[in-house]
């Protein structure tokens, strides 16, 4: 089998990654995944949805060894665990 065929088959199913999400004192959302391909991935954004989309993109980036690897948009699924918001004033 050629390298391209092997790569397409490798990424044809979905992988699920556990992500913790927390709203910080400044209103930003902080997402962290300790099972990312390179060991850890961290993102931060002003909205929950954007922080999770950045995380999905970061994991896809870590999976792609070269532009021809073809990691599809729906390959990375996130299992989100919302942590309590940071307490006010501390």
Domain ranges of the chain: 3-82
pLDDT number for residue 43: 97
Q: Which residues contact 77 (CB under 8 A, 6 or more apart)?
A: 14, 15, 16, 17
The CATH code for residues 3-82 is 3.30.160
State pLDDT tens for residues 10-63. Answer: 444 678 899 999 999 999 999 999 998 888 999 999 999 999 999 999 988 888
């Amino acid at each position: 089998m050629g390298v391209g065929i092997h790569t397409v088959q490798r990424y044809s199913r979905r992988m699920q990654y556990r992500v913790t999400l927390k709203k910080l004192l400044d209103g930003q959302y902080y997402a962290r995944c300790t099972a990312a391909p390179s060991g850890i991935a961290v993102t931060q954004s002003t909205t929950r949805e954007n922080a999770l989309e950045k995380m999905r993109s970061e994991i896809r980036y870590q999976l792609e060894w070269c532009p021809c690897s073809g990691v599809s948009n729906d390959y990375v699924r996130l299992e989100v665990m919302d942590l309590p918001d940071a307490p006010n004033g501390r």
